[in-house]
């Protein structure tokens, strides 16, 4: 049996209507990490939550950071966590 690929979960606030942002970021991650990710899930929540987790571990929290992640930043965080050798192309440049 092969090793399971990581699961990314984006929990977003339904009261704040952050579904479109979460869905867009999920699409970007699925497009960038085609071979590296097993699943990207969207989890509805409340109370202003916007968290990105990999296998249950918080990768980015809007509450802790005081802002949303930039997509370039999020891709780099995911890459560093699951595929450090992966080149992100234009997302790599500063």
Q: Does domain 7-81 have CATH number 1.20.120.450?
A: no
Q: How far apart are CA 39 and CA 7, in angstroms?
A: 5
List residues bridging with 8 in a β-sheet. Answer: 40, 54
| Of 8, 53, 83, nearest in space to 92 by CA | 83
Q: Count other C-beta atoms under 10 Å from residue 81's C-beta.
A: 15
Q: How far apart are CA 22 and CA 15, in angstroms?
A: 13
3-state SS, residue 74: helix
How far does CA 20 lie from the centroid of its chain? 14
Q: Report strand pairing: 57-61 vs 39-45.
A: unpaired
> What's the predicted TM-score (pTM) here?
0.92
Full pLDDT tens readout for the chain, 94 residues: 457 999 999 999 999 999 999 999 999 999 999 999 999 999 999 999 999 999 999 999 999 999 999 999 999 999 999 999 999 987 666 5
């Amino acid at each position: 049996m092969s090793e399971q690929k990581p699961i990314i979960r984006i929990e977003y606030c339904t009261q704040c209507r952050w579904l479109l942002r979460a869905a867009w970021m999920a699409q970007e991650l699925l497009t960038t990490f085609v071979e590296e990710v097993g699943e990207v899930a969207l989890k509805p929540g409340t109370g202003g939550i916007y968290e990105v987790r990999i296998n249950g571990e918080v990768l980015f929290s809007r509450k802790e950071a005081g802002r949303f992640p930039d997509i370039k930043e999020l891709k780099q965080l995911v890459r560093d966590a699951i595929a450090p050798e992966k080149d992100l192309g234009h997302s790599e440049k500063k």
